[in-house]
């Protein structure tokens, strides 16, 4: 029976437009719609832990090559660090050329920093040792309950390796877990039905709470971040996709549903299960997708990297804080470290930025207040860039490993072209 409803990306696009209109026309009522987005994200987060656990475990158990697991991990970390460095450098260059904060002449002494006190306090307690210890859960089951992505990956990898050593005994366990995984993906598809409603509620809340006037006030900074994100996607991710022998435009068309949902809800976690399923369908090995994509959410936040470097220099410009080239390079070096592992932490972008500014002891941390109004609008750019970056990263590492099925990818991407129905790839 033919589906009479528009495709998901059309529904989400319409919902975003309606959300903006409701937020603009009914600014007092619109913030009350925020729970629509929160409920959807909580439903997806409810499924994230079991999806990641079963995907990684089943993939490693089927692969049976423990050395390959370590090799993929090392390659992923190298890729993440190099590409994140490109994002930071591009952001630094653009913010210095455009200078969105110049002329604001803000006196740091007159800023009320109480609005960002929660973020600056959290930043004071983040150390490298805390980050390492946080990867190790207090219990294996606890990692699944808490939803910490890095902890789930650790438990999944260890369980998958142990399972792969059981020989023939593993087959029944793998078969059961594989069935559970398919059921989980079925649950994700059910939850995705309410994605347009979530996008509507989230956009109405953002516009109603902060107003379109905020976009005008911070228009120059927002234009810089969005433009830089586009430059990064086309100038860095485009050549990487080309090197993998796929068209970036075709890939973006393939994940258009996920892009619009991430934009509307300001969350990449909201579409992680869908992305995992689509990347597997595209020809990436299941175990590799299970390891690289979730890890990328913590270590390969390209959009967040762009935002962090531009926001730090913006605060310096707005408060007339002179930064030498050396000072700016120090900001880059610190951000290469502080921008990692913040996935799933509430206000992680602000916490990371606060930690960076505090370590510099030169840019006033109180200047974060200047970003509060624009942050929700900038978060949409961060979410979409992070999503695309991690999708391309998974394909690139699969290609690097020699496990990327190029013929399958071309067939699937051709099916995603306009005017053609997308069909599932036969295994």
Summarize pLDDT for 332-387 with one digit per residue, the tens. 887 877 666 555 444 566 667 777 777 667 777 777 777 766 777 788 888 899 99
For residue 147, what pLDDT band results from cuts at 50, 70 and 90? low
Chain mean pLDDT for the chain: 80
Cβ atoms within 10 Å of 373's Cβ, excluding its own = 16
Between the alpha carbon of residue 229 and those of residues 144, 313, 382, the distances in Å are 33, 16, 8
Do 38 and 199 touch, CB atoms closer than 8 A?
Answer: no
Domain contains 155: yes
d(CA 356, CA 375): 17
What pLDDT shows up at residue 230? 93
**Least confident interval from 41-50, 140-149, 258-267, 326-335:** 140-149
Domain contains 116: yes
Domain contains 369: yes
Closest residue by Cα to residue 202 from 391, 35, 340, 72: 35
What pLDDT shows up at residue 394? 94
Summarize pLDDT for 91-130 with one digit per residue, the tens. 999 989 988 877 777 776 666 555 455 555 555 555 556 6
Domain contains 423: no
Hey, what are 283's tokens? 């020809």
What pLDDT shows up at residue 5? 58
Contacts of 340 (CB under 8 A, 6+ apart): 131, 298, 299
Domain contains 420: no
DSSP 239-280: HHHHHTTS-HHHHHHHTHHHHHHHHHHT-SGGGHHHHHHHHH
Domain contains 199: yes
For residue 326, what pLDDT band results from cuts at 50, 70 and 90? confident
Closest residue by Cα to residue 309 from 87, 101, 106, 1: 87
Contacts of 17 (CB under 8 A, 6+ apart): none
Do 251 and 387 touch, CB atoms closer than 8 A?
Answer: no
Between the alpha carbon of residue 111 and those of residues 68, 101, 213, 362, 364, the distances in Å are 52, 16, 21, 16, 10
Contacts of 72 (CB under 8 A, 6+ apart): 287, 288, 291, 292, 397, 401
Number of domains in the chain: 1
What pLDDT shows up at residue 4? 58
Radius of gyration for the alpha carbons in the chain, expressed in angstroms and rounded? 22
Three-state secondary structure call for residue 127: coil
Do 156 and 290 touch, CB atoms closer than 8 A?
Answer: yes
pLDDT higher than threshold 50 for residue 426? no
**Least confident interval from 325-329, 349-353, 422-426:** 422-426
**Least confident interval from 70-74, 130-134, 161-165, 308-312:** 130-134
Consecutive H or E run containing 308 = helix 302-318
What pLDDT shows up at residue 346? 42
Report the share of the chain in percent with pLDDT over 70: 81
Do 364 and 116 touch, CB atoms closer than 8 A?
Answer: no
What pLDDT shows up at residue 194? 85
CA 225 remoteness from chain centre: 16
Hey, what are 382's tokens? 């961060």
d(CA 260, CA 153): 27
Domain contains 163: yes
Three-state secondary structure call for residue 100: coil
Contacts of 239 (CB under 8 A, 6+ apart): none
Question: Which CATH number do you get for residue 225?
Answer: 1.10.3860.10
Domain contains 207: yes
pLDDT higher than threshold 70 for residue 391? yes
For 73, counting Cβ atoms within 10 Å of its Cβ (0-12 exposed, 13-18 middle, 19+ buried), the class is: middle
For residue 254, what pLDDT band results from cuts at 50, 70 and 90? very high
Summarize pLDDT for 200-240 with one digit per residue, the tens. 888 888 788 777 766 666 778 888 889 999 999 999 999 99
d(CA 193, CA 200): 13
Distance between start and end Cα atoms, the chain: 25
pLDDT, mean of residues 401-405: 88
Question: In which domain, by residue range, is 237 found?
Answer: 8-415
d(CA 138, CA 142): 7
DSSP code of residue 131: H
Report the range out of 58-62, 317-321, 391-395 with the highest average pLDDT: 391-395
Comparing 310 with 125, which gets the higher pLDDT?
Answer: 310
pLDDT higher than threshold 90 for residue 396? yes
Please tell me the pTM assigned to this model: 0.79
For residue 291, what pLDDT band results from cuts at 50, 70 and 90? confident
């Amino acid at each position: 029976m033919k589906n009479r409803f528009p495709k998901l990306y059309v529904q989400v696009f319409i919902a975003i437009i309606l959300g903006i209109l409701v937020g603009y026309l009914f600014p007092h009522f619109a913030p009350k719609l925020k729970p629509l987005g929160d409920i959807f994200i909580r439903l997806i987060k409810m499924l994230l832990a079991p999806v990641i656990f079963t995907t990684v475990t089943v993939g490693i158990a089927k692969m049976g090559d423990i050395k390959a697991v370590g090799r993929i991990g090392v390659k992923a970390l190298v890729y993440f660090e190099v590409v994140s460095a490109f994002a930071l450098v591009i952001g630094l260059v653009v913010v210095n050329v455009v200078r969105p904060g110049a002329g604001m002449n803000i006196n740091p002494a007159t800023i009320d920093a109480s609005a960002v006190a929660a973020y600056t306090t959290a930043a004071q307690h983040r150390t490298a040792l805390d980050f390492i210890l946080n990867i190790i859960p207090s219990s294996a089951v606890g990692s699944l309950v808490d939803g910490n992505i890095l902890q789930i990956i650790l438990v999944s990898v260890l369980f998958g390796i142990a399972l792969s050593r059981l020989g023939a005994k593993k087959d029944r366990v793998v078969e059961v877990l594989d069935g559970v995984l398919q059921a989980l993906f079925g649950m994700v598809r059910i939850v995705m039905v309410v994605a347009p409603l979530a996008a509507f509620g989230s956009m109405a809340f953002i516009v109603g709470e902060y107003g379109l006037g905020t976009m005008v006030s911070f228009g120059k900074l927002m234009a810089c971040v969005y433009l830089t994100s586009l430059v990064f996607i086309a100038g860095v991710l485009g050549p990487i996709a080309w090197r993998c022998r796929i068209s970036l435009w075709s890939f973006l068309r393939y994940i258009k549903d996920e892009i619009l949902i991430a934009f509307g809800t300001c969350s990449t976690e909201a579409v992680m299960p869908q992305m995992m399923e689509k990347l597997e369908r595209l020809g990436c090995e299941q175990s590799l997708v299970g390891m690289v994509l979730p890890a990328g959410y913590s270590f390969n936040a390209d959009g967040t990297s762009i935002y962090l470097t531009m926001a730090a220099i913006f605060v310096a410009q707005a408060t007339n804080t002179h930064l030498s080239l050396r000072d700016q390079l120090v900001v880059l070096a610190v951000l290469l470290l502080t921008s990692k592992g913040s996935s799933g932490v509430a206000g992680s972008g602000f916490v990371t930025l606060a930690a960076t500014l505090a370590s510099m002891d030169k840019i006033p941390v109180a200047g974060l207040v200047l970003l509060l109004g624009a942050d929700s609008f900038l978060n949409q750019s961060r979410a979409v860039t992070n999503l695309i970056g991690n999708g391309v990263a998974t394909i690139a590492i699969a290609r690097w490993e020699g496990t990327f099925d190029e013929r399958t990818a071309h067939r699937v991407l051709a099916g995603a072209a306009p005017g053609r129905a997308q069909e599932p790839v036969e295994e």
